[in-house]
Amino acid sequence: MTFGNATLRGGQTLLHDARMWGQLVRWGILGLVLAIVLTPAVSLVTTTSAHEWRVVGLGTLAEFKLGLKYDPDSRQAYEWREDERTLERISLIASDPKIERIRKRMLDTVHKKAWLGLWLGLGGIVLFALFFWFLGRHTASSPESPGERRWPGKSSSPDGASTLSFTALSSRNREIRQKT
C-alpha cells in the first residue's frame, strides 16, 4: 500500500470514528434532555387536577393585573372550589394562600422529578453504552473477516460459485427491456 493510500485510509477511519462518536454524544444528550423534561411533565399530569391548574392560572392572572396597576377592587372570575365560580376582587384572589400552596407543591414536584429524570437519563446512557460495547465486542470477535461478510444480493454457495447478484439482476433486467 502506498503512502497516499495509507494516509487516505487512516484519515477516513479517523474522521468516521469522530463522526460516529459525535452521533452517540448527540443522541445521548437528546435522551438525557428528554428524560429530564418528560419525567416532571408526566408526574404533573398524573398528580394534579384541572381545578388546581385553573386556580393557579386565575391567581397568576390576578397578580399580573395588579402588576399592570389595575384597580385592586376590580372583579375577576375565580373558583374557590371545583365548579363553584364567583366574581371576586383581584386583590383577594392574588392573596389567596391556596394558590401559593398549590404552586409550591407543583414546583416541588417539578424539582424532584427533574432530578429523577436526570438519573434515569444517565442510567439510560450507561445501559446503551454497555449494549453498544457488547455488540462491538461480539462483532469484532466474529469468525468471518470483513471481506467475507455476506451482503444482501451477494451470496455464495457452499462450493464457492457465486449465485445471482445485484449486478447480474440489473444486467438481466436490461436485456429483457431491450428485447421488448
The domain ranges of the chain are 14-143
153 CB-side CA count, 13 A: 6
**pLDDT band of 152, cuts 50, 70, 90:** low
Q: Where are the beta strands (DSSP E) in 8-167?
A: 75-81, 84-89
44 compared with 155, residue with greater pLDDT: 44
Lowest mean pLDDT segment, chosen from 80-84, 109-113, 123-127: 80-84
**pLDDT band of 42, cuts 50, 70, 90:** very high
54 CB-side CA count, 13 A: 12
Residue 41 to residue 46: CA distance in whole angstroms: 9
Q: What is the mean pLDDT of residues 88-116?
A: 94
Q: What is the CA radius of gyration of the chain?
A: 32
Residue 61 to residue 93: CA distance in whole angstroms: 9
Q: What is the DSSP string of 43-54?
A: HHHHH--HHHHH
Q: What is the mean pLDDT of residues 117-131?
A: 93
| pLDDT beyond 60 at 13 | yes
56 compared with 159, residue with greater pLDDT: 56
Q: How many CB atoms lie within 10 A of CB 28?
A: 17
**pLDDT band of 65, cuts 50, 70, 90:** very high
| pLDDT beyond 60 at 76 | yes
